[in-house]
Amino acid sequence: MFTPVILAGGSGSRLWPLSRQGFPKQFLALDGQGQGSMLQRTLARLDGLEHALPLIVSNEQHRFLVAEQLRLVKRGCGKIILEPLARNTAPAIALAALTATQSGGDPVMLVLAADHFIPDEQAFQAAIEAAQAHAAAGRLVTFGIKPTHPETGFGYIQCGKTVDGTGSAIVAFKEKPSAELAETYLASGQYLWNSGMFMFRASRYLSELQRLRPDILEACVASLKHAEDDNYFMHIPAEYFALCDDESVDYAVMEHTDAGVVVPLDAGWNDLGSWAAIWEVSERDADGNSHQGDVMSVESSNNLVHAHHRLVTTVGVEDLVVVETKDAVLVAHRDKCQEVKQIVQRLQAEQREEFVSHPLVSRPWGHYDTVDKGERYQVKRITVLPGECLSLQLHYHRAEHWIVVSGTAKVVCGDKEMILSENQSTYIPLGIKHSLSNPGKVPLELIEVQSGAYLGEDDIVRFEDRYGRARS
């Protein structure tokens, strides 16, 4: 028996424009195989193994994405631990280990990233079983991927003598190498790719962290002591968690411990860190093209083309990545996909909305799609799921018109309550408390027309909210 710890706090910036700050890659289905999001598939990969409910560590702003994706696949979890800001894997794992030992237990923890591609699940599970024996014996296990080519985008682990027949002592961790050095690593047969997956007892990790980085452990203990726990989400306070250094578990612990063991994993692993990696794992036609959506190709080869909202065509091109979304189009050479991050950095620096979110934005009650916007108006198509409800709220800077397209809406506006059906509408004046719910059994679809001097999403004052968003 072990406790899975799923790290779901990544940003996936190299997979823009599909991956955004508000909807990063772990919540997307990226490999075109239609088997759920990366997070959902990470959890499904554990089926058949004896394990406790998982602990999930995520960013505070993604809490409802995590909860909704678990609900869709009918999976429970022990706790969703919410980081107020990113501090890398060493503090994230410490929060999980402290949480796992709160009730006096000391489980073996399997630490997995939520965004890895691992097609050979049988080989993956066999490696976990081998690692579990090492972890139970007090070792700190990392999983090393058997390299298939001289990759320069991954870190490497140098292996030493065999340990109990299924692992190797760790000689050294190596940074991402040059092409020449990667060739040397591959030829030697002594190196594995660093996967970023681990297995160890919670207490063993905490004792090594105490010895090697007591400052990180102290900040995490204080953070957990002052956390707000609502029996589903654990909200970590920013003022304490911010005291942690931004440190990976490799740098903080694994590179310095004398109890480290690496277990080899040969399961087709890929971290899907770029569009080139997506092309590598995707099904391709006879010309080497990977197409998703409405795509036509003429005399084109070895391209990845994702069309999400309209027809995309290619003529006479090769080795390209073309990704079309409703509000952005990426065109890149496949060999330059790592540089997509530079575009994302510019979008962030210029505070552009394309960095933050898609026009289609998920909410715990459903979603909304921005149809049009101008200087003093914005039009959204809103979908409210059956039985769900938007918060009781008001806006200081905008008024709203709601027109029901289909379904039934229950509207509270000031001291009035009304039921609206298809083709009926209402007006929400600026500064008036209001709420919207769907009392029916089918999704409620409506058009919202906002008008006013400021139309930002932060112009919301919440008074009642079933999803606990009064804090945001």
| Side chain identity, residue 142 | T
pLDDT of residue 30: 83
Cα–Cα distance, 161 to 14 (Å, whole number) = 37
> How many CB atoms within 10 Å of residue 394?
18
Cα–Cα distance, 268 to 281 (Å, whole number) = 9
Cα–Cα distance, 364 to 228 (Å, whole number) = 20
Give a three-class secondary structure readout of 377-441.
EEEEEEEECCCCECCEEECCCEEEEEEEEECCEEEEECCEEEEECCCCEEEECCCCCEEEECCCC
pLDDT of residue 472: 40
Cα-to-chain-centroid distance, residue 463:
29
Q: What element of type H or E holds 135?
A: helix 121-136
| DSSP output for 353-382 | HHHH--SEEEETTEEEEEEEE-SSEEEEEE
C-alpha closest to that of 236 among 417, 86, 440, 25 = 86
Q: What element of type H or E holds 346?
A: helix 340-349
Strands 320-324 and 329-333, bridge-based pairing: antiparallel
What structural domains and CATH numbers belong to the chain?
Answer: 3-265 (3.90.550.10), 291-340 (no CATH), 359-471 (2.60.120.10)
pLDDT of residue 34: 58
In Å, what is the CA distance from 270 to each residue of 28, 88, 144, 385? 15, 20, 12, 35
pLDDT of residue 403: 97
Which regions in the chain score pLDDT beneath 50?
Answer: 471-472
- Predicted TM-score (pTM) of this structure: 0.86
Question: Using one digit for the tens of pLDDT, what is the confidence trace for 65-103?
Answer: 898 889 888 898 889 999 999 999 999 999 999 999 988
- Alpha-carbon torsion 291, 29, 114, 322, what sign? positive
Task: Return the bridge partners of 413, or none.
Answer: 416, 434
In Å, what is the CA distance from 456 to each residue of 366, 396, 459? 19, 11, 6
> ∠ at Cα 143 (304, 130), nearest 5°?
125
